[in-house]
């Protein structure tokens, strides 16, 4: 269905949506995604008409690593689907940097050379895309950044999934669960990735002033296998653990499996909105709290790019900072789907027929 691994993808009108005139709306009224709001205290606005471009449009996306984990795969699917909905998008070109800073810069330069109308970037590190972003802006191309901070502020629009909020919400839950004291393991994400840094800093802030001690910590890169290796290592080292803070649901699920493997009770473990973890949470009656970090952020980036090309005003900076998901809320919202792959993430912007096509059992 989607050409995730090809250098370019042409769309017809399979999912064409009716054109909606937004000529009179303000930046406040442009909806990018549920939960995405203008950054509080920052009212910088990209003026209406600044990047207005007659269609058809060619939109490029530099993805830091499609196969980094299951979330990044779905984020690419969500991006491509959002682009496919608008038949004014003649071409959506997604290039995969494959976790390489050098390739990310080369990819952005390649997209600029292909004369794209808008650029979407998910940076690998806080500096990996900065030079490419500056080059795009100098060429008059609007740049939308999401899923990772940059050191440069030269981008046109920034949509941040609240990594600090993710870490703080889950860290605060763990503090409350442990009564403010105890020993914990910390499973971090991809080393040097801005999202990992922000989530970790949010967790550390939540622990300040408590008697909670981190006794084991390492990077599992948001992957099940690496997370499982870490949890097995921590367990076999005999590290006392009263709770686990995890930067990713695949790692949370892996730790739950390790404790089950050794016949031990799973301590309170934080997580996020992965179908596979929700099922484990329900089946094993775990103590957990899931941060909400939807892969629909990829679609939000596409919507922002389209809005800019339509000439609509947007805020320069947006944030996505939900409170997280309880097991009851996961049930109520239909996030526990045993008819779909364990690798589906919620909330999602993909409709049922696309979920079944991509992730149906």
For 26-64, the pLDDT digits (tens) are 777 889 999 999 999 998 999 999 999 999 999 999 999
The DSSP secondary structure of 297-336, one letter per residue, reads HHHHHHHHHHHHHHT--EESEEEE----B-HHHHHHTT--
- Mark whether 77 and 127 lie in a shared domain: yes
Query: What pLDDT shows up at residue 16?
Result: 33
Q: Rounded to whole angstroms, how far apart are CA atoms 222 and 231?
A: 13
**Share above pLDDT 70 across residues of the chain, in percent, rounded to a whole number:** 93
Number of compact structural domains in the chain: 2
CATH number at residue 244: 3.40.50.2300
**Share above pLDDT 90 across residues of the chain, in percent, rounded to a whole number:** 84
Secondary structure element (H or E) that encloses residue 97, with its range: none
Tally of residues, the chain: 361
Query: What pLDDT shows up at residue 125?
Result: 87
Q: Rounded to whole angstroms, how far apart are CA atoms 202 and 195?
A: 11
Under DSSP, the state recorded for 353 is: H
- Mark whether 14 and 117 lie in a shared domain: yes
Name the 3-class secondary structure at 88: coil
- Mark whether 199 and 303 lie in a shared domain: no
- Mark whether 284 and 318 lie in a shared domain: no
- Mark whether 287 and 301 lie in a shared domain: no
- Mark whether 13 and 150 lie in a shared domain: yes
- pLDDT for 78-115, tens place per residue? 999 999 999 999 999 999 999 999 999 999 999 999 99
Q: Are strands 181-188 and 243-246 parallel, antiparallel or unpaired?
A: parallel
Q: Rounded to whole angstroms, how far apart are CA atoms 340 and 342?
A: 6
CA 172 to chain centre: 21
Helices then strands, counting H and E runs in the chain, come out as 11, 15
Cβ neighbours of 210 (radius 10 Å) = 16
Q: Are strands 9-10 and 89-96 parallel, antiparallel or unpaired?
A: antiparallel
- Among the residue ranges 128-132, 162-166, 340-344, the one predicted with the least confidence is 162-166
Its domain, for residue 210, covers 163-291
Domain-located, residue 336: no
- Predicted confidence band at 290 (pLDDT cuts at 50, 70, 90)? very high
Q: Rounded to whole angstroms, how far apart are CA atoms 270 and 281?
A: 11
- pLDDT for 178-216, tens place per residue? 999 999 999 999 998 888 999 999 999 999 999 999 999
- Predicted confidence band at 11 (pLDDT cuts at 50, 70, 90)? very low
Half-sphere exposure for 199 (CA within 13 Å, toward CB): 29
Q: Rounded to whole angstroms, how far apart are CA atoms 111 and 105?
A: 10
Under DSSP, the state recorded for 294 is: -
| pLDDT (mean) for 245-266 | 96
Whether 154 and 131 have beta carbons less than 8 Å apart is answered as no
Orientation of helix 297-310 relative to helix 70-84, angle to 10°: 30
């Amino acid at each position: 269905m989607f050409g995730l691994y090809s250098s370019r993808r042409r769309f017809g009108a399979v999912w064409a949506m009716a054109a909606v005139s937004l000529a009179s709306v303000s930046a406040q009224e442009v909806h990018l995604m549920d939960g995405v709001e203008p950054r509080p205290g920052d009212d910088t606005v990209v003026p209406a008409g600044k990047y207005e471009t007659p269609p058809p449009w060619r939109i490029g996306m530099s993805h830091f690593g499609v196969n980094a984990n299951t979330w990044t795969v779905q984020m690419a699917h969500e991006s491509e689907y959002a682009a496919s909905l608008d038949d004014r998008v003649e071409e959506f070109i997604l290039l995969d940097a494959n976790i390489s800073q050098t390739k990310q810069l080369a990819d952005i330069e390649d997209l600029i050379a292909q004369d794209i109308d808008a650029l979407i970037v998910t940076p690998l590190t806080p500096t990996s895309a900065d030079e490419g972003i500056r080059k795009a802006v100098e060429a008059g191309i609007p740049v939308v950044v999401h899923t990772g901070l940059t050191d440069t502020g030269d981008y046109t629009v920034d949509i941040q999934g609240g990594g600090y909020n993710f870490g703080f919400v889950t860290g605060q839950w763990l503090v409350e669960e442990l009564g403010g004291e105890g020993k914990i393991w910390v499973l971090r994400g991809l080393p040097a990735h801005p999202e990992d840094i922000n989530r970790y800093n949010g967790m550390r802030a939540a622990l300040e002033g408590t008697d909670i001690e981190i006794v084991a910590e390492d990077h599992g890169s948001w992957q099940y296998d690496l997370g499982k290796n870490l949890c097995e290592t921590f367990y076999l080292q005999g590290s006392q653990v009263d709770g686990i803070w995890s930067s990713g649901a695949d790692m949370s699920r892996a730790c739950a499996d390790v404790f089950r493997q050794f016949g031990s009770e799973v301590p309170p473990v934080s997580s996020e909105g992965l179908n596979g973890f929700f099922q484990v949470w329900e089946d094993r009656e775990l103590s957990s709290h899931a941060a909400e970090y939807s892969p629909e952020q990829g679609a939000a980036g596409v919507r922002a790019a389209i809005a800019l090309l339509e000439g609509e005003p947007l805020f320069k900076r947006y944030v996505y900072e939900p409170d997280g998901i309880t097991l009851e809320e996961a049930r109520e919202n239909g996030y526990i789907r045993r008819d779909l792959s364990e690798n589906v993430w919620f909330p999602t912007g993909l409709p049922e027929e696309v979920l079944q096509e991509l992730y149906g059992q």
